[in-house]
Structure 1
Amino acid sequence: MNKNRQLKEAKVAEIREKLEKAQAVVLTDYQGLTVEEDTELRKKLREAGVEYKVYKNSLVALAAKDLGLDGMVEFLEGPVSIALGYEDVTVPARILSDFAKDHKKLELKAGVVQGEVYDANKVKQLASIPPKEVLIAKLLGSFKAPLSNLAYLLNAIKEKKESESAE
């Protein structure tokens, strides 16, 4: 086997491993971004724990087919970058969607969340979901509100009884 083929097979194995490990994958068309814009985007993604790569589409297609993600292959045309999120499924979509609002050259193409292929519209919907921490805070707040109201009510009853017995 020639060396070039070995390198390609190793790269496909690397891509397959990353796609398999990722909770969320977002594909974008980055053509037209300046170096400064691309650097800014990469920094934001890196700070959020998202890996951002550009691979040959043919190699990504081979890895995707190996994993049964055939629906992803149709979006691998032209210059495509891949954002891989390993923890919160909404983070890559949210960062890329927010960045695309200010930088019209960046276009969301598709995504994969836990093995399901999403088109650009579904990726944008995914981006609108608040971060995990915000959702947890809202849930805890909804638990706290009834308890606070109950405590307020019990305190009001206690104060009323105290004022009646004082009279």
Structure 2
Amino acid sequence: MIVTKIEPCTKTKFKIYIDETFKFVLYKGEVSRFGIRIGEEIPPETEEKIRTEVLLKRAKLRAMHLLEDMDRTESALREKLRQGLYPSDVTEAAIEYVKSFGYLDDVRYAENFVRSRQNVKSKKEIGTALLQKGISSEIAKRAMEICYEEMGEEEAIRKILKKKKV
């Protein structure tokens, strides 16, 4: 495993390519701490250490930070971490980590989403929006059943019509 390229991402971040393949992003200090230089070999132990001590820790913190301000779906969080150039195995481990604490829950997200919109949107619109957000059709269907069971579909339609003054 030979470092073939170190490409600047920002002033302080660098993309590391090993054997002509992009592997991960490291900060300037981490590049020097692990002694990563173009043309030099990275031992498998060092790569594993980078993945567990640096990337996994950073991905977990990023996932928690992303969930601080607003609830997200699992697919939305996965996409945000992917945009941060985290390796897929690290992304999955970070998602499992936040799930283990109950910070990420697609069922809860879907139920809250339905409740917040059932008075202003139709069932079909809500279902479509949930699917677009990456919620599975079975979770979306179950959330709709639970929430509309609580209120009743006729009452929801009346509220929508009243709001639109029809």
Which of the pair has the greater relative contact order for Cα pairs under 8 Å at 6+ separation? 1
**TM-score bracket for this pair, using the shorter chain length:** under 0.3
The structure with the largest strand share of the pair is 1
TM-score (norm 1): 0.28
The structure having more radius of gyration, on CA atoms, is 1
TM-score (norm 2): 0.28
